[in-house]
Amino acid sequence: MKESSGSSGLRTYVLTRLALALPTVLILLTVVFLLMRVAPGDPITAALGARLPAKELEKRKEEAGYDKPIISQYGEYLGQVVTLDLGESVTDNRSVTSILAENGSATLELTVAAFMITLLVGVPLGLMAGRYRDGPWDVGGRLYGIIIYAFPVFFLGFLFQLLASQFGWPTSGRASPLVEYDLDSITNFYVIDTLLQGDWSAFWDVLQHLFLPAFVLGLTISGVLIRLIRVNLLQTMRGDYVEAARARGVSERRVVINHAFRNAMVPVVTVAGLQFAILLGGAVLTEETFNWPGIGSELVRYLNQRDYIAVQGIVTVFAVAVVIVSLLIDLVNAFIDPRVRYR
Amino acid sequence: MSAHEDDPILDVRDLRVWYGTGGDPVRAVDGVSFQIGRGETLGLVGESGCGKSTLGRGVLGLLPDAAAVTGSVRFDGRELVGAPAAEVRDLRGPELGLIFQEPMTRLDPLQTIEAHFREALNTHRPELGKEEVRRRSLEALAGMGIPRTRFGQYPHEFSGGMRQRIMIALALVLEPKVLVADEPTTALDVIVEAQILGILADLRRNFDTAILLVTHNLGIVAEACNRVAVMYAGEIVEEGDARELFAEPAHPYTRELLRATISLETTGLNYIPGAPPSLIDPPPACRFHPRCPSAMRVCADLHPIEVRAPAGQRVSCWLHGPEGQIPAGGREPLERREFAEAEEA
């Protein structure tokens, strides 16, 4: 059905965008690498300086390649990234890959769940607020947006923990200790793992643990989303094509959903996607509050111990994740908006 | 006289559209009456901001909630003012069509031309099958010179002139009996303008469509309209047969408007001094009197009464009487200091 510029335009756009992501990643990696080396001294001395004899330190430095010129260190670093082997943390000898697998998956699981709650709360409320301007939904939605945004996550977290503990609802960790002990890590996403094992009581236990932190984190961002959707919808509701559709007698419901809402979502997708990217690294407060073994709290721990290798590895993955998310945003936008893929 | 007065498809009487702005309302349309018969084109002319676009939308019930509408709009005998919103909505499209001034932004940028047609036809002709919808859409587009190969394309892939033709096809595919065209050619170049006017003329001839052509371009009115209504500050000041009205304008505003038109014979530019008045607090009595070259004393004191001018048109101007209503001394010329005041305002 689609002629000429329809789907082939989309394909060209996707390929171009993918090709453009590579240099972006390279630049980011370089920045991460350089940042880690601006600090005086080397990572080994920084982390272990006072704890090991000088000889042992030298040996470790040689092993890690810190005696080599910076350019060959850079080459090695890039090589590590490509082979997905980001070395071992200095302080506790965990491989960065396993840190990511264990703690990264916890964060990703939390973030995805929180984001689903954000969408579930934010999209309908934003839609109602924009659709019925100055009505009860709008006033309520705006008020909610402000209040929820003003509450610090840990305050909201404690509040809900207090409430939940009254009903015996779990308020900390990813699963009950026994469930966690029995769990075979296949994907490291507990929700998926328990499902794969077909263990329904474990699945329910994991879901219960996930709900509270995801709910708190999700609510926090939903305030921004409501306001964003509202303001964009108010704008598109005044759009010329919306009036034109009304002039053709299209029902108000259809006008709002087919024209105003879809057009309002174009900028929302971008901002919501970036919010998601920020969440990946910025869920530290929620993770701390709910004792959630996420990557954010691990990063803070390694930073405090000045374990630069672990930090470098985690930050590298964050950087790549942000690039991937923004790539996804662009692809979604191209899918929604034909003008994006037209150029 | 002519057919339209026996059986007007659209009969507007004493229509008022006031926008509430917290304090005093904006009287965008203030007591307007006109009729349009089947197959007739009425040109509605006036300066920017005189309320002509509001009038066009008021006919279709397309005004924002903040607008207060009183008076009567009868379409084919059915009263639209005060009718339930859903009822009026069902008339928009298949009975009352609207085409807009600015075609560039009137199509949803995220949807194909095909989706626009499908939506319009599914809304009003749900009984039509997919193939029939496609067939009718392509036929309407072909009538506007848009090739079928472009049916699946998006609005940004078309030029302004093509988009306006798509908008017209989108209105016509529903076969409306009345078409309100709100400055349909203002944003387009002269070649496209001629095409669009040709299309409107065909429509009138072939489908007996009644057209309300809103414009500020008197040339278009002369070319495309049977009758013309001249609007000033929310009121119709003169209305009649286009040919007669242009040959023998009865209202000083129409006269000045015609004098301000540029043609090849134009040697100097004529303009009407002053600016269109505020619609919140319009001048008392005759709204044109502060700018009128022929203003008399009565014009500043009493609202003019509609009379028949010698050439047959309706006109609201004291120059044409009625003589019995003008108080003694009312025909004395108005002193000019009031004009300076109005200009400042």
Mean pLDDT by 10 residues, chain A (343 residues): 55 86 89 81 74 80 78 88 83 86 89 92 91 88 88 86 88 83 80 85 90 91 90 91 91 90 90 84 82 88 85 87 89 86 62
The answer to whether B124 contacts chain A (CB < 8 Å) is: yes
B170 in a structural domain: yes
A188 in a structural domain: yes
* B204 and B338 fall within a common domain: no
CA distances A58 to A86, A263, A264, B313, Å, are 21, 61, 59, 106
Looking up residue B195, the CATH number of its domain turns out to be: 3.40.50.300
* B84 and B157 fall within a common domain: yes
Number of domains in chain A: 1
Looking up residue A250, the CATH number of its domain turns out to be: 1.10.3720.10
What's the pLDDT at B242? 87
* B189 and B67 fall within a common domain: yes
What's the pLDDT at B260? 80
* B140 and B281 fall within a common domain: no
Q: Do B90 and A247 touch (CB under 8 A)?
A: no
What's the pLDDT at A7? 61
- Percent of chain B past pLDDT 70, that is, above it, reads 94
What's the pLDDT at A241? 92
Residue B2 has pLDDT above 70, yes or no: no
* B8 and B117 fall within a common domain: yes
- B chain contacts of residue A260, beta-carbon cutoff 8 Å: none
Structural domain of A217:
102-304
Question: Which residues 6+ apart lie within 8 Å of B9 measured at CB?
Answer: B36, B37, B38, B75, B76, B177, B178, B210
Counted residue by residue, chain B has a size of 345
A9 → chain B, closest CA residue: B153
A220 in a structural domain: yes
What's the pLDDT at A233? 93
B62 → chain A, closest CA residue: A247
Cα dihedral value A146, A150, A154, A155, nearest 10: -90
Sort residue B231 into left (φ over 0), alpha (ψ -120 to 50) or beta. Answer: beta
A55 in a structural domain: no
The answer to whether A8 contacts chain B (CB < 8 Å) is: no
* B196 and B80 fall within a common domain: yes
What's the pLDDT at A112? 92
- Percent of chain B past pLDDT 90, that is, above it, reads 16
A241 → chain B, closest CA residue: B106
What's the pLDDT at B1? 42
What's the pLDDT at A282? 63
**How far is B341 from B335, CA to CA, in rounded Å?**
12
Question: Which residues 6+ apart lie within 8 Å of B272 measured at CB?
Answer: B253, B256, B257, B260, B291
* B178 and B279 fall within a common domain: no
What's the pLDDT at B11? 92
- In this structure, what token pair is assigned to residue B213? 């052509």
Number of domains in chain B: 2
* B223 and B333 fall within a common domain: no
Mean pLDDT for the stretch of residues B77-81: 88
* B43 and B174 fall within a common domain: yes
How many angstroms from the chain centroid is the CA of residue B211?
9
Residue to test with chain A: of B105, B110, B112, B118, most A Cβ within 10 A:
B110
Mean pLDDT for the stretch of residues B323-341: 68
- B chain contacts of residue A263, beta-carbon cutoff 8 Å: 108-110
Residue B344 has pLDDT above 60, yes or no: no
What's the pLDDT at A46? 74
Q: Exposed, middle or buried: residue B6 (CB in 10 Å: 0-12, 13-18, 19+)?
A: exposed
CA distances B92 to B58, B97, B121, Å, are 12, 6, 12
* B58 and B147 fall within a common domain: yes
Q: Hey, how many other C-beta atoms are within 10 angstroms of the C-beta on A96?
A: 24
CA distances B59 to A306, B107, B169, B217, Å, are 74, 22, 21, 21
Mean pLDDT for the stretch of residues B264-283: 78
* B228 and B273 fall within a common domain: no
Structural domain of B123:
3-235
B330 in a structural domain: yes
**How far is A85 from B71, CA to CA, in rounded Å?**
79
B111-139 pLDDT, tens per residue?
Answer: 999 999 999 999 998 898 889 999 999 98
What's the pLDDT at B313? 84
* B229 and B305 fall within a common domain: no
> What confidence tier does B25 reach under pLDDT thresholds 50, 70, 90?
confident
B156-197 pLDDT, tens per residue?
Answer: 999 888 898 899 889 888 888 999 988 888 877 888 888 888
